[in-house]
A and B are shown apart, each in its own frame.
Chain A
Amino acid sequence: MATRLHRELADRTAGPDSLALQVRGLGRAFDGRSVLRGVDLDVRPGEFVALLGASGSGKTTLLRILGGLDIGFSGTIRVPTARSVVFQEPRLLPWKRVWKNVAFGLRDSDARAKARAALDEVGLRQHADVFPATLSGGESQRVALARALVRAPDLLLLDEPFASLDALTRIRMHALVAELWARHDPAVVLVTHDVDEAVLLADRAVVLIDGHLETEVDINLARPRHRGTPGFAAIRQLLLAHLGVDADHDSPPDPPGPPDPHQN
């Protein structure tokens, strides 16, 4: 944490070369329909940014561009060469055993050892030699996470990686991602429509509405966070307001965790 803070201070004064990600005037249109327009975004090394938006706001399109999966955009982006993606679905090759999926595309001679170490980190060491079909949804997504981390990315792109998981698994995955991020220190861009997820994990939330970046909200809460962390509810409500949701009527009836002083 100390190094992170130190680096943040250094980055404030540094030029664009010290950014993990720089986006300038990004636009993307499909068949004349504009999906992204005039997007500017900077992400510092090691920073965790949540990209919030409703369905169709263009957030996945933005992430695909950052991941190099879409080159039909206008404007410029500067991204690290070492970047990897965790998709909404695990996207594992069903005919390859788990460790081979993790090691897929690695050129290193010790790819197998690296893959096993990465699987160990996500708690799936004992599943290294099985086929993906035997894994649960949460386990598959952890394999996808290991596959992304084994490449030691400077930029980790997460495209709603928890969206299709059940609520309990999602809570565990949030903790795992927070832990792995703290240990490996990549810059992270997390695409999500879940405001709670953004407030739990990110240093900064960026709200995307109709293909345009509307607002940025710094989330300066102590870590590790939970829904009862002081300030959580206030930021949550602020972000919901930016997303055009009336928080008074849409807040969950019974928030988990200890009672929140800001709610009353």
Chain B
Amino acid sequence: MESLTSPVAAATAEAPPAPDGPQAAARPRRSGPTVEVTGSPEANNREWVRWVRRVLALVVIVVGWQIGCSTGLIERHQMSSPATVVRTIWDMTRSGELPDAIGISLERAAKGFALGIVTGVVVAVIAGLWRAGEDLLDTPIQVLRTLPWLALIPLFIMWFGIGETPKILLIAIGVFFPIYLNVFAGIRNVDLRLVEAARTFGATRRQLIVDVVLPGAIPQFLVGLRLALSVSWLSLVIAETLNADSGIGYLMNRAREMLQTDVIVVCLVVYGALGLLFDVLVRLLERRSFRWRRGFTGN
């Protein structure tokens, strides 16, 4: 009935009494212009189309790159072609040069990353759970945070020389800040009502920390983890490019001196691929830790 009534008809319908009673009759029913929308359920099933488009975009770029190189549009000493890159990867893998370098770089990144995460979490938990901890730790950390951590390189070289220690420490410090900030914020954002409820149900202090506060901070911790991952990768590249006698960064530096464009490109590809791999890993971890959030029922 309502949808059939035009605005004009509604305005003239004031006079006849409506069945609802005298009050309803006194007020004209409002009715504006309408629009007809037809549902399209297939709109929900177009996810694969988007995937095809994404892959297509990548393929077009690689093909264009190859064509540019093959036709001489891109000069060889400036940029190697995809085909050359693949061949170089193969050669370097067979000689063992590339796997060795990747192994060494990954080891550095893992050590620095682990050190940064452990210290970041420990300090954030102390500062997050205890006021005294916050007062003593948070202020100096916030001051240090404003310092670009890569600017510490000269000092680190003076202190620790050019061995592994300054590289690992540089990565650890870069990782520390995003982890600390996020875990601290995560702890402080835990729903006070849950803490309160846990207290009334007789939770011990340990239970309060382990079962209520820390799980509540995990989503924020994972945000920190993803940030930390890109930071650690960045620190690794810088540390290895400045002074190293092994690792991917070293390969790249040597290639620059010997004008091997293809090796440089290979190293860039490796850096990119590994960075992507780690991001995927953190995402998987995120999905696993959030089973409770996604309403997984266990069957």
A contact residues vs B (CB 8 Å cutoff): 67-69, 84-85, 87, 89, 91, 93-96, 104-107, 129-134, 147, 151
- Residue of A whose beta carbon sits closest to that of B204: A105
Determine whether the beta carbon of A84 is less than 8 Å from that of B291. Answer: no
CB contact under 8 A between A131 and B197, given known A95-B215, A105-B207: no
User: Besides A69-B196, A91-B193, A96-B211, 17 other CB < 8 A contacts?
Assistant: A68-B199, A68-B200, A84-B201, A85-B197, A89-B193, A91-B196, A93-B198, A93-B215, A95-B292, A105-B198, A105-B203, A107-B202, A131-B291, A131-B297, A134-B295, A147-B201, A151-B202
Give bound CA distance, A147 to B293, whole Å.
21
Nearest CB in chain B: distance from A150 CB, A: 9
Give bound CA distance, A129 to B299, whole Å.
10
Give bound CA distance, A127 to B194, whole Å.
21
Determine whether the beta carbon of B200 is less than 8 Å from that of A69. Answer: yes
Give bound CA distance, A40 to B144, whole Å.
55
- Residue of A whose beta carbon sits closest to that of B201: A105
Nearest CB in chain B: distance from A134 CB, A: 5
Residues in A with CB closer than 8 Å to B202 are 105-107, 151
Residues in B with CB closer than 8 Å to A68 are 199-200
Query: Could you list some 14 contacts between A and B, CB below 8 A?
Result: A68-B200, A69-B196, A89-B193, A93-B211, A95-B218, A104-B211, A105-B201, A105-B202, A105-B207, A131-B292, A131-B297, A133-B293, A134-B295, A134-B297
**B77 interface residue per 8 A CB criterion:** no
**B130 interface residue per 8 A CB criterion:** no
Give bound CA distance, A106 to B211, whole Å.
13
Instruction: Identify A91's interface contact among B194, B211, B293, B298, CB under 8 A.
Output: B194
Give bound CA distance, A67 to B297, whole Å.
33
- Residue of B whose beta carbon sits closest to that of A106: B202
Residues in A with CB closer than 8 Å to B207 are 104-105
Determine whether the beta carbon of A94 is less than 8 Å from that of B292. Answer: yes
Determine whether the beta carbon of B292 is less than 8 Å from that of A87. Answer: no
Determine whether the beta carbon of A104 is less than 8 Å from that of B198. Answer: yes
**B296 interface residue per 8 A CB criterion:** yes
CB contact under 8 A between A69 and B199, given known A93-B194, A93-B211, A93-B212: yes
Nearest CB in chain B: distance from A72 CB, A: 14
CB contact under 8 A between A129 and B201, given known A89-B193, A93-B212, A94-B292: no
Give bound CA distance, A243 to B56, whole Å.
70
